[in-house]
C-alpha cells in the first residue's frame, strides 16, 4: 500500500521574475506563471490524483485551480501550506537586502534564517510538516497533489530526509511549478523526484 504526495511549487509571479521576496505578500501569477501551470496540468492530466490541497496565497491558489480543473476536483485551501513570513524582507530585492542587512544575508549562506520580524524555521517546519502528515493520514494508498511554496516545501522535504535545521538551504526548490514526489509505504517515506520541471522544456518558463 503506497500513498503518493505530489509537492508542487506555484507558477511564476512578477516578484519571482524580478527577484523580490514574497513571503506572505499575496502576489498573483504573471502570464508566464499561468502558462507554466497549464504545462504542468497537461503533464499530469492522466495521473490518478484524488485530492488537491493548496496554500491560500493567490499564486499557489491560481496554480491549484489550473491543476484541479484537469482532474475535475476542487482545491482545499489551507494556510498551513503558506510560504514563510519573511518579515522585513517582504517585497525587497537581493541587492537592497545585502546592503541593509549584510550579517543576516551572510548567515543565510550557512542555512541560518534570522530575518527580523520573520517566522522562525522551527515554526515554519512545524506547521508545514503537520499539514503534510494530515494529508498523508487522510488519503492512505491514494495520490494527492499539494501546491505550496519553495521555502515551505524545502522544510517538509528536509524533515523527511532528516536534514538538520542548521543545513537548511541544501535543497533547491526555485523551479516554478517544480514537481517533487514523496511515496509512503510500510517502510516509511521515500523521495523519488525533486523539483522536476521537464514540462517546461519546450518553453522559456524557468525561474
Containing domain of residue 154, as a range?
3-85+120-200
In angstroms, how far is CA 103 from the centroid of its own chain?
A: 26
Q: At 21, which helix (H) or strand (E)? A: none
Is 110 tagged catalytic?
no
CATH code at position 33: 3.40.50.1240
The set of cell numbers assigned to 17 is 521574475
* pLDDT one digit per residue (tens) for the chain, 207 residues: 899 999 999 999 999 999 999 999 999 999 999 999 999 999 999 999 999 999 999 999 999 999 999 999 999 999 999 999 999 999 999 999 999 999 999 988 777 788 999 999 899 999 999 999 999 999 999 999 999 999 999 999 999 999 987 677 678 898 999 999 999 999 999 999 999 999 998 754 443
Sign of the torsion formed by the C-alpha atoms of 57, 11, 18 and 155 = positive
Say if 61 falls within a structural domain: yes
The answer to whether residue 102 is domain-embedded is no
Q: Does a structural domain hold residue 104?
A: no
User: 183, 192 in Cβ contact below 8 A?
Assistant: yes
Q: Is 10 an annotated catalytic residue?
A: yes
Residue 137 lies in a domain: yes
Residue 81: inside a domain, yes or no? yes
Structural domain count of the chain: 1
> Residue 60 and residue 21: Cα distance in Å, rounded?
15
Which member of 83, 90, 149, 199 is catalytic?
83
In a domain, 63, yes or no: yes
Amino acid at each position: 500500500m503506497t500513498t503518493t504526495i505530489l509537492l508542487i511549487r506555484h507558477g511564476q509571479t512578477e516578484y519571482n521574475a524580478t527577484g523580490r521576496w514574497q513571503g506572505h505578500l499575496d502576489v498573483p501569477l504573471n502570464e508566464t506563471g499561468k502558462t507554466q501551470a497549464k504545462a504542468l496540468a497537461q503533464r499530469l492530466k492522466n495521473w490518478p490524483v484524488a485530492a488537491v490541497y493548496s496554500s491560500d496565497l493567490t499564486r499557489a491558489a491560481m496554480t491549484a485551480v489550473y491543476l484541479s480543473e484537469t482532474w475535475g476536483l476542487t482545491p482545499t485551501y489551507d494556510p498551513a501550506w503558506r510560504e514563510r513570513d519573511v518579515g522585513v524582507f517582504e517585497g525587497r530585492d537581493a541587492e537592497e537586502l545585502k546592503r541593509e542587512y549584510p550579517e543576516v544575508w551572510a548567515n543565510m549562506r550557512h542555512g541560518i534564517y534570522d530575518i527580523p520580524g520573520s517566522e522562525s524555521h522551527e515554526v515554519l517546519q512545524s506547521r508545514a510538516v503537520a499539514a503534510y502528515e494530515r494529508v498523508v493520514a487522510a488519503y492512505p494508498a491514494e495520490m494527492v497533489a499539494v501546491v505550496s511554496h519553495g521555502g515551505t516545501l524545502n522544510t517538509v522535504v528536509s524533515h523527511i530526509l532528516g536534514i538538520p535545521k542548521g543545513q537548511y538551504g541544501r535543497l533547491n526548490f526555485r523551479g516554478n511549478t517544480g514537481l517533487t514526489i514523496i511515496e509512503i509505504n510500510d517502510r516509511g517515506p521515500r523521495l523519488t523526484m525533486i523539483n522536476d520541471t521537464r514540462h517546461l522544456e519546450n518553453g522559456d518558463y524557468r525561474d
